[in-house]
Amino acid sequence: MDKDALIVEIGRLIVADAKVAAQPWDRYALVAWYGDGVSKLNGFRYVGEEAGQPATPAAPELEDRLDELRDATQVDGKAPWHACVFRLDRGTGKATVDFEYENPERWHVTPATAAEIAQRARP
């Protein structure tokens, strides 16, 4: 799959995921973070101007599609991105994706950083 098709597929998997669909949302952000041999997904749902609430998808194929997107967007001779922020706007149907190459730690979600990252990731 090319990167555009992967982005569409990732958006579809997020919207169709039972854990994401279980609660209302207007906008959604998924943070994919890759460390040394570890990858982590953290999702946040947003309703109006409320703070982002955790809503991480459970779809196992989502991680596979993100791995494929990481490969599809890798520039020859450079390391792949280490973090990706996938944002959805339900009202417009628009998806945007930002890749982090230089400072992935700023997207590493921990209990101490979750609220701040949810605010920064807000679509």
Phi and psi, residue 87, nearest 5°: -115, 140
Q: What tens digit of pLDDT does each residue of 81-106 get?
A: 999 999 999 999 999 999 999 899 99
Average pLDDT in the 18-28 region? 95
Instruction: For the domain covering 3-121, report its CATH number.
Output: 3.30.500.20
Average pLDDT in the 9-27 region? 95
**Residue with the two structure tokens 């979600």:** 109
Q: What tens digit of pLDDT does each residue of 42-91 get?
A: 999 999 999 999 999 998 899 999 999 999 999 889 889 999 999 999 99
* pLDDT value of position 38: 84
* pLDDT value of position 36: 83
- Name the residue among 51, 106, 113 with its Cα closest to residue 83: 106
